[in-house]
Amino acid sequence: MNTRKAVAPGMLAALIALAVSSASGQTPTATSGATPAKQTTAATAKTGEAAAKTAKSATKTAEAAAPKAGARSVIGEIVDPACWIVNGAKGESHKECAIACAKAGQTLAILEKKTGKLYYALTDKPGEDSNKGLIDYVAQTVLVKGKVFTRGGAVGIKVTSVEPYTALKTGE
């Protein structure tokens, strides 16, 4: 029984190393003359390094995909983010539902037309209505100006102005 307890963590590490190397297309190799414990330690170290590289790569990808923080103008549709994320609901057919949700306390968001990124409406102070000025434009394409903030993959905008957007207006 004690042998089983001592071998189990080593076997688990070896299986993880095998899975990681298989996923990356590498062929696992044994170190000649190394004991199973040393092989397991080496495999565990390689697994840890691979996981760290993957995490670092994912972070760089997310940072590259995130909109730049600071003053911005965003052209997009005012949506209920919960319904849009869960069901893809937007547009005129979802307008009444989005307005009802906003009146019930759901924070509205801007779905950027060009990139498909979602910007949550933010406020300066707790308790302020983040939907003020936006609720009148639900399901419409608007030009929103404000300051963009990003953290942990979430994107928000403190809205300073919102107005109906028409492609003819700016030549797009």
> Does residue 15 sit in the same domain as residue 95?
no
pLDDT of residue 9: 52
- Check: CB of residue 148 under 8 Å from CB of residue 117: no
Domain boundary among the residues 46, 65, 84 is at 65
pLDDT in the model for residue 160: 95
Which domain range does residue 41 map to? 2-65
Dist CA 152 CA 16 (whole Å):
28
List C-alpha distances in Å: 165 to 15, 68, 143: 56, 22, 5
Tally of structural domains, the chain: 2
Q: Does 118 share its domain with 135?
A: yes
What does the pLDDT read at residue 49? Answer: 67
Domain boundary among 65, 89, 106: 65
Query: Comparing C-alpha atoms, which of 137, 128, 133, 129 is closest to residue 160?
Result: 133
Residues 111 and 157 in one domain: yes
Using one digit for the tens of pLDDT, what is the confidence trace for 105-152? Answer: 999 999 999 999 999 999 989 899 999 999 999 999 999 999 999 999
For the segment 82-90, the average pLDDT, to the nearest whole number, is 96
- Strand 109-112 relative to strand 70-79: parallel, antiparallel, unpaired? antiparallel
